[in-house]
Amino acid sequence: AQSVTQLDSQVPVFEEAPVELRCNYSSSVSVYLFWYVQYPNQGLQLLLKYLSGSTLVKGINGFEAEFNKSQTSFHLRKPSVHISDTAEYFCAVSDVGYKLSFGAGTTVTVRA
């Protein structure tokens, strides 16, 4: 069975500063990794995904993530955040069967 740990529950950051959200996973099989964003009172929106190939994955809104198999990590980064990036971010893992297991989430608050 797989599990996901998001190491930071809250990340405050100033506008135009970089941000990194940390995610570690455990699984006994090959995994597929995802980052979702949830804006207030909305459903989850896919930011990016890693299925195979290059370990550096680029997503929407300037986000990117790097898959590190040896460290079982999939950290999310953005070089310069905007006020509109204030949201909750979820890391998720899926294996055979397409089921997603989510982390507890990281709340990003961008301040001017």
Partner 1 sequence: EAGVAQSPRYKIIEKRQSVAFWCNPISGHATLYWYQQILGQGPKLLIQFQNNGVVDDSQLPKDRFSAERLKGVDSTLKIQPAKLEDSAVYLCASSPSGDSQSYEQYFGPGTRLTVT
Interface with partner 1 (CB under 8 A): 4, 32, 34, 36, 41-46, 49, 51, 90, 92, 94, 97-105
Q: Give the shortest CB-43-to-partner 1 separation in angstroms.
A: 4
52: Cβ contacts below 8 Å, ≥ 6 apart: none
Tokens of 68: 């590190």
Beta bridge partners, 106, equal: 89
- Minimum gap (Å) between residue 48 Cβ and partner 1: 11
Q: Cβ of residue 100: shortest distance to partner 1, in angstroms?
A: 6
Q: Which is nearer to partner 1, 45 or 80 (CB)?
A: 45
* Residue of 37, 10, 54 whose CA lies nearest to 102: 37
